[in-house]
Chain A
Amino acid sequence: MSVPHEALDFERPSIFRRIQLRDWAYFALMVATGVIAYSLYGHMMDRYDVGGLILAVVASSWMGWFWRPWQAYSIIVGSLALFSIWMYGDDLTRGETNFWLNYIGSGQAGVMWMSVMLYLATAAYVMGLFSSSTFPSRAGAAFAWVGSGAGLMALLVRWREIYLTDPSWGYIPVANLYEVFILLALMTTLMYLYYESRTGQRTMGAFVMLVIAASVTFLLWYAYDRGAAEIEPLVPALNSWWMKIHVPTNFVGYGGFAIAAMLGVAYLVKHRFERTRPDAPITHRLPSKDALDSVMYKAIAIGFAFFTIATVLGAMWAAEAWGGYWTWDPKETWSLILWLTYASWLHMRFTKGWRGPVMAWWAIIGLFVTTFTFLGVNMFLSGLHSYGEL
């Protein structure tokens, strides 16, 4: 059937047509939140804080337009966090007496829920890999959503708890290893959920959630064995605006690299099964190699882009705190090594068009370099990066 071309839909719908009423409502809500936050705490903010607040409103609105599930996610998580903060009032000891705070809504409880949910998600996704029903994987996604939400809520509530512990300490909870591990787990989960919703490939979760579960295990060990969950004041060097943007940016990078590595594992598994057991159900259940490769590339691309920004921000911060934008401190140096690892990966793909097992292995090795940059440097090498010693 041929229709008159006036009626064809090739006209690119303008950005305003693609955005629906609910998107505008979400935007309005974000702006309102920002305005309320400013009217409550404006007197404590400097111009950077105000800039950050505006940026947060814009970024969250944009995220909501770009990826609709973010809207519900941020509203629910935000409301729960606000509820917890309201429950606290200005008395930190309510964390033990108030039922909601004690069992669900405090920073510590939130982290526990995150851990439980992410473990459940991992188990469900792995079951999904071996089951012909899609139910386990869908349950896995649900657990992952709740887990990531609980983690974000926990961080937001902890932010308040730090101020309640001592108003003069107040800082954003991305300052020590415990806090950034929460960030890593929730951020990686969220990024994974994004790729899952865009590709519809749920079996990837069985691989990606494994690395998230591993980081949760580390987090729990660190919290219990080392008492790392304790709220401590900030060392002077970390008391800087740069920290607020440098650290989260870095963790988008680490999250992307972690996802890519686990997809590399999935790729190798698929590759092997296609050759050895082409008829096995699991071979069919895994996403195609092309699909895995494509998501792997996207995860590395976003990771690399953000990691580059984070490194540049780190350099600017170092210039302000240590007197040199690049001092070959071990952490800086390993960031460079990590950056070079993925720059080479990208070159191989762009210029030589490499695909396949080699690139998958490369992404996996990249995760080891990432882990060393993130943790190993703090454990084995001494330097100026003073936060989060083990």
Chain B
Amino acid sequence: MSNNDQAATTGTVPASRQKTARKPRRSRILVDFMGSMSLAITLLVALAIASVIGTVLVQNEPYTEYLMDFGPFWHEIFAGMGLYQVYSATWFLLVVGFLVVSTSFCVYRQSPGLLKDLRRYNLQVKEKSLLSFHSSAAGDLDQPQDEFVQHAHRVLKAQGFKAREKNSDGQTVIAAMRGRWNRMGYLLTHVGIVVICVGALADGTTLLKINEWLGNLEIETRSVPISEVPRSAWIPEWNPSFRGSVEIPEGASANVVFLPMREGYFVQELPFRIELEEFRIERFSTGAESSYESDLIIHDPDRDEPLRHTISVNHPLIYKGFAIYQASFADGGTRLDIDAIPLGAEALRELEVPGRVFQEMDIPTPDGNTRTIEFINFQVENVIQLLNEEGVRENRHMGPSFDFRLMDRTGHGLYYRNYKRPALQEGAMYFLSGVRESPADEFHYLFLPADADDSLDRFRTYLAMLHKPEVRNEIARQVARDDETVPNEQTQAIASTTAELMGLFAQGGYTAVHNEIERRVPAERLDDVRDLMIRILHAGLQGLYMEVLQDEGVVSIQEEEQRFLEDTISAINAISLYQSPFFFHLKDFEHREASGLQIARAPGQSTVYTGSVMLIVGIFLLFYVSYQRLWIIARRREDGQGTHVTMAGTSNRHKVEFEERFAHLKRWIIDQQNADDGQKTTGSNTNKND
């Protein structure tokens, strides 16, 4: 048997390669190189490495971020290599393109041999070459030759082989094969991959890149209102494939989407206008979102009537080949009615602030300056999970909150989050306001005690009175007078110290009080004096509180009231760190949401799916069908008494199983015995599950 035959049967070395070895032509060398296994593996590895880079280096961040992370030198290099958008970098597309070409060459080179394999039974084999096969056997039978040949055909047919026969010089050659679908598997996997890549390239950004090179398009990097985006960043409707996003507030509409591109974006026109009627979030009892939905109205000049459709996560709308997905949501500019309650002097004169999310406004502060408040976000519902006393997780509904930033003239300032409703904390109610230096930090909370009506009134009254010098003096005098431990001649001095301490406390909390004491008192007496001073201060603060309660008509002071005072003192102490002249209290709001839509046009999608199906079918054929060939040569025995039989077989997969099967075939064909006579295994290896 020739080398060629052996190759055809195992399917490892294509028949065509043998020819190449004899007379290499230049085109042939190219075909060989392009379709070579080494190139394919190299490309696969290159693709894998590029993919690793793409996941380790976070993609599509703003360029300023990269600049900060890597410094100008490396930033230039990385940007130049396209590492911030690996998957749309030119070299990456080239690798994929090469892979497609390489695989196509491989298919192109393999298929002729492969198809020939399927049709050619190869009846030219010689006895000697059969015996050199790994699975081979020979034997002498008493049976006449034609009877044996008949028998052999029956066995082969029953075992699923297709057979051909040739007679010459009194010798019969039978060539048989089965599992040809395995060879189709090879074609299907590889063609499938080519098809997938072609479909994917069609859906990529290649076309945009070409237009960019040609100078037809230019990326917009500024974030400006859409009317100010120059025409060079607009992509007309012809663009067959894109994926972009747009945020539409309730009641508004859009006929463009934004396509992120490197450090900027393009604006893609749509042939229709999408209006958002309403956006809804459904929630589970835990407060976690269960679904997002948008009621859309599509206004299309081609339609007589606008199309109404509700989309939700996992349920997009496909309209004219444009797929419209529910991707995210945001605030759409909720109106906020806010009371700015001063936390310093003149604490009763509150300010009404009409806010809107995403807007900024200047507000005058009591000290005559202005601050800028920027409304960042609004949240209708906040649910936090807490462990209750029994250690069981519990959901606490915190109600609405809004986020804002308060800046001085230089643009510096802290970030805040205020809750509308007071929240229960260890048995008492508080208004919460979180403050932090940057959005990356955790919030620190200011707890303002709520009174019995869940309002801030009592706290505000107390604070206002504390800030009035005449009130402080009056209270201080009363407290000193009523205190029996204070000798009469010292009443005046104690009273003025108390008033002074209260004033300090109102301005700067305990820190201010301590600083003042340290400034005035020699170090060796500091400890004694400090204790005394704090006691005096507390007496004054308590006295003031009694006054507030009296005005309210409260006569007897309970544990609850006492706790309120302690909370009030802690809150006033914390105000100096809070760094806001106001507590912004949300009175009311009109919620307006925006829906984040992702809009895509992917004409290659069905191509990709078709390729995927081919790939999967091909893989199963490759793995689970084995391609087997068998040859039998029968000739009259030398002594003229019967038949001499030689047989051999090969398979391209599952060698172990094939050997077993070959042993069975031999018993049936040559020994003409049952396969399981004297051995335990059953008839055919498809029957192993017994």
Give me the interface of A with B, judged by CB distance under 8 Å: 1-3, 5, 7-13, 18, 65-68, 166, 168-169, 198, 230, 232-237, 239-240, 290-291, 294, 301-302, 304-305, 308-309, 312, 315-316, 319-328, 330, 333-334, 336-337, 340-341, 343-344, 347-348, 350-353, 377, 381-382
Contact = CB atoms under 8 A, between A and B. Distances in A.
Given A319-B605, A343-B44, A336 B291 contact: no
A323 to B, nearest CB: 4
B313 A239 contact: yes
A67 B40 CA distance: 38
B159 A344 contact: no
A233 B381 CA distance: 17
Contacts of A343: 44
B158 A322 contact: no
B48 A168 contact: no
B612 A312 contact: yes
Given A9-B683, A10-B155, A290 B656 contact: yes
B461 interface: no
B285 A236 contact: no
Which 6 interchain pairs have the tightest Cβ spacing? Answer: A323-B598, A323-B325, A236-B313, A330-B55, A233-B284, A312-B612
B288 interface: yes
Contacts of A237: 313-314
B511 interface: no
A11 B675 CA distance: 11
Nearest to A290: B656
B55 A377 contact: yes
B58 interface: yes
B325 A308 contact: no
Given A68-B689, A323-B323, A323-B600, A347 B55 contact: no
9 contacts: A166-B285, A239-B291, A308-B615, A323-B325, A324-B598, A325-B602, A334-B55, A344-B44, A347-B40
A10 B671 CA distance: 12
Given A239-B314, A326-B608, 6 more contacts: A3-B672, A3-B674, A336-B48, A336-B51, A337-B52, A351-B37
Interface of B: 12, 37, 40-41, 44-45, 47-48, 51-52, 54-56, 58-59, 87, 151, 154-155, 158-160, 200, 243, 284-286, 288-292, 312-316, 323, 325, 327, 393, 598-600, 602, 605, 608-609, 612, 615-616, 619-620, 622-623, 656, 664, 668, 671-677, 683-684, 686-690
Question: Which of A10, A169, A316, A319 has the largest number of chain B CB atoms within 10 A?
Answer: A10
Contact of A66 (B160, B313, B689): B689
Residue from B598, B620, B623, B676 with most neighbouring chain A CB atoms (10 Å): B623
A287 to B, nearest CB: 12
Contact of A305 (B619, B656, B668): B619
A232 B288 contact: yes
B686 A12 contact: yes
A18 B12 CA distance: 35
B642 to A, nearest CB: 12
Contacts of B48: 336-337, 340-341
A7 B620 CA distance: 35
Contacts of A327: 243
B626 to A, nearest CB: 12
A312 B656 contact: no
Nearest to A381: B55
B473 to A, nearest CB: 57
B227 to A, nearest CB: 27
Contact of A304 (B41, B59, B243, B619): B619
Contact of B623 (A8, A305, A326, A340): A305
B284 A12 contact: no
Given A290-B656, A308-B619, A347-B41, A169 B284 contact: yes
A232 B602 CA distance: 35
B55 A294 contact: no
Contacts of B37: 347, 351-352
B163 to A, nearest CB: 14
B316 A320 contact: yes
Contact of B158 (A11, A232, A323, A326): A11
A150 B393 CA distance: 28
Contacts of B315: 320
A168 B48 CA distance: 42
A324 B600 contact: yes
Contact of A232 (B55, B286, B676): B286
A322 B687 CA distance: 46
A312 B616 contact: yes
Contact of B674 (A9, A302, A308, A377): A9
A355 to B, nearest CB: 11
B289 A305 contact: no
A340 B672 CA distance: 48
A1 B673 contact: yes
Contacts of A328: 54, 59, 87
Contact of B683 (A13, A168, A198, A336): A13
B672 A8 contact: yes
Given A166-B284, A308-B615, A377-B55, A322 B325 contact: yes
Given A3-B673, A312-B616, A352-B37, A382 B159 contact: no
Nearest to B291: A236
A323 B316 contact: yes
Contacts of B676: 9
A237 to B, nearest CB: 6
